[in-house]
Amino acid sequence: MRSYCREIILLILLLLSLVIAGCSDSTDLGDDYGYIRGHITLANTPIESVATQSSVEKSKNNIKGLRGSTQKNNYVADEIIVSFSKSADIKKILKKYRLSVKKSIKRLGTKTLIGVAERDINALIKELNNEPEVAYAELNRIVSIMGIGVNDPDYSNQQWNYSAISLPKAWEISTGSTEVTVAVIDTGIDLDHPDLQGQLDLENSINILNSDPEKGIIDTNSDDDNGHGTHVAGIIGATTNNQEGIAGINWKVSIIPIKVLDYYGNGSIDNIAAGIEWAVDHGVDMINLSVGGDFDSQILKDAIDYAHDKEVTVIAASGNDGEEDYLRYPAAYENTIAVGSIDSSLDLSKFSNYGLELDFVAPGGGIYSTVPNGNYYDKYTDTSSSGYYAIFSGTSMATPHVTGVAALLLAQARAEGNNLTPEQLKEELRLTAQDLGDKGRDDQFGYGLINAHAALADARITKAKVFTGEEIDYLNYQIKLKSDIINVSENGTYELKNNDEGNYYVYCWIDLDQEGEEGYNKIDKGDYFAKTSSPVGSGSNTNLELNLITEDDFKELKVID
């Protein structure tokens, strides 16, 4: 659309000082470049409040944190996980190696063997792996927790994390559905917590530590004796608008408590895998895994792949070692959504692991949520609390933010008669995330900070239009188009090649109104919009942040062909 054949598009502007998305970063690349290019991202709403240390008494005396591990080894000393071939003579192999079966996981085709006694467990595993009828044998590794319009009284002064992901605006679109089922595979959940009533699916609950489903032994008492799982569950779906405590991301949801970790927050790989199998076989839509281990494990990978094959979305914590190029398992597996943590300044939390496998970040530092009644201390924020609510920090806390938003997305899709696969959920989160750090995906922040409103509104970055214009009538604030109108790419980049000579404002816009609706083809409240703070010329590198227009008195900007 060159100037000699281009139609004039007029935009009626509110004020010259409009800075709805004014954040621009322009760098002159030289006049020999005949284009304007840059990067666009969707910004979340401003953080409304941050819990101060005065809001939760700061005292270390006689306060316990999340119970720490007493485990000396990173594996269960007398146990080996073995997967046999279908034709294997299992009894013969067990007799040969003087081992017996403790438990089996039918869907994964594995057995946990005991009877190692004083033998060298690594040497025994090597021998088993040399057996033709053994698919694999491995240590039963230990995994641990990854945690160091609403009338709910603590929502406004404690839950900064929700405005950080634009959740209040997302609630105008969807508040969830009990038709969406989320498994929290963790330390269990406080089954009697006053702020989780009506949200828990106790019929399908299980305590894997005391159960052996293959033998028909089922313990349904998945009560939390640690606090971690209850905190995670509250973020996903604490009962909302009950004049009690906090708000959950989902006002309506079905959460299945699956206890796989003990009093100290530790658990074995085979129990994690058994928990995943139970969740999938009992019809969950997604699994929250705020747990992690140091080592790759075939049984854990098989369990994750089993869930993925059944179109169950698995969301896992990256880990709390603060290390580069290192994600804990299962977050490091391809078929999970791996989540890191940011603080209230949108900086990567010091404890958050990151690397190539990281997908997203979410609030994880200083998160206020439900716990069993007791006393707690959070090392990261140096805060203590008592009662049914506490501040915890960790990628464990970031992970249920992503799980919660994914559950909202699925609830919305089903309300419209659709469904979303794990890949589709991840794609929606990716194309609506707020880019942080280096432009585009990077190892520290992955695709960026999730944006609940943009995701539910389907405000994908690929729907953004970019163009330049010149104000030609001060009284009516009309703008004459000075370039083509182009779309932003999937990674947020754009390149305007056909620009008239001179300096002009760069505009970017996502129209969230549908054809036939009053606001269609008008820049108005409810759309995402950005404008440079000053005119720029060809050869400039101009980055913009698209912000949601929320002002009631905002005058619409009409596009006229």
| Antiparallel, parallel or unpaired: β 206-207 and 528-531 | unpaired
Give the active site residue among 228, 231, 308, 453: 228
In DSSP terms, 560 is beta-bridged to 10
- Is 190 tagged catalytic? no
Write the CA distances from 479 to 5, 18, 36, 482, 548, integer angstroms. 18, 13, 18, 9, 21
Q: Which two tokens stand for residue 331?
A: 């977050």
Residue 34's closest CA among 522, 501, 521, 347? 501
3-state secondary structure of 9: coil
Measured distance CA(404)–CA(194) in Å, rounded = 20
Give long-range contacts, CB 8 A cutoff, 24+ apart: 100-107.
103/212, 103/214, 103/215, 103/270, 103/274, 104/214, 105/214, 105/270, 105/273, 105/274, 105/277, 105/299, 105/303, 106/214, 106/277, 107/277, 107/280, 107/281, 107/306
- Is 39 tagged catalytic? no
Give the distance from CA 22 to its chain's centroid.
Answer: 28
- Is 396 tagged catalytic? yes
Measured distance CA(164)–CA(526) in Å, rounded = 18
Write the CA distances from 209 to 205, 206, 360, integer angstroms. 12, 9, 31
Q: Which two tokens stand for residue 5?
A: 């054949």
Residue 182's closest CA among 246, 229, 241? 229
Question: Edge-to-edge strand order for the sheet containing 10-11?
Answer: 10-11, 557-560, 522-523
Give the active site residue among 24, 39, 152, 186: 186
Give the active site residue among 26, 290, 349, 396: 396
Residue 157's closest CA among 52, 243, 81? 52
Write the CA distances from 366 to 186, 188, 341, integer angstroms. 20, 21, 11
Helix axes 90-97, 121-129, angle to 10 degrees: 150
In DSSP terms, 252 is beta-bridged to 176
Question: Which residues have a catalytic role annotated?
Answer: 186, 228, 396
